Amino acid sequence: MEDNPAPTGRPLMDVTTFKSNFGITWATETYLCYEVEVREGDAWVPVEGLQGLLRNQVFCHAELCFLPGVSAWGLDEGKQHRLTWYLSWSPCPDCALKLVEFLRKNSHVQLRIFAARIYTKLDGYEDGLRRLQDAGAKLAIMTPKELQHCWEKFVDNQGQPFQPETELLENIGAQCQRLENILRVGGHLVNEE
């Protein structure tokens, strides 16, 4: 990350970091870009100041680094809130279970996860994703639309347009199919949004 602040004063990811973590090079870091919204009537409205990014730490995955902040924000339990995450890797099985627990304890919070790729290094990753979906999380692979959004909102892009490589577009299709297959096993259905 660079120290160049966004218009709101928050740090932005540099272009190289974005491309290596959300592109086709598959870096080992996990980055999590997030936005928080509150339900106002029929619309979701961004909560001022609750957008940003973080990455995994030595002993803490990005998802688990994020969760303590939610209680510190004091989200009104009388209102419905939606967290939207853009992750470079989908949650591992352990993180998925912690997120299931979080969602069960926070019925006023919805979670949408857009991942650049599926984390497959630990056994049980498929079951973890299905459990997360069963707990109400919406899971999807990042498409060019979400990548463009991240480029504009979380990257110090110096005014340059987002231009995905052909290989990235092909990978998106393969990752989408893989996630759909995982979530359909045992009668599970893919969440649509």
What is the pLDDT at residue 1? 43
What is the side-by-side order of every strand in the sheet holding 31-40? Answer: 43-55, 31-40, 81-87, 109-115, 138-141
The confidence band for 116, taking pLDDT boundaries of 50, 70 and 90, is very high
- Please check the confidence at residue 5 and state whether its pLDDT lies above 70: no
Active site residues: 63
What's the predicted TM-score (pTM) here?
0.89
What is the predicted pLDDT for the residue at 69? 84
Whether 189 shows a pLDDT value over 80: the answer reads: no
- The Cα 75–Cα 4 span in angstroms is 28
Q: What is the pLDDT of residues 126-148, one digit of tens each?
A: 999 999 999 999 999 999 999 99
Residue with tokens 């740090």: 11
Q: Which domains does the chain have, with CATH numbers?
A: 15-186 (3.40.140.10)
Please tell me whether residue 30 adopts helix, strand or coil conformation: coil
Q: According to the model, what pLDDT value does residue 6 have?
A: 43
pLDDT higher than threshold 50 for residue 7: no
Q: Provide mean pLDDT across the span 72-101.
A: 93
CA distance 186 to 141: 20
SS3 state of residue 11? strand
Q: How confident is the model at residue 110 (pLDDT cuts 50, 70, 90)?
A: very high
Average confidence (pLDDT) over 2-24: 75
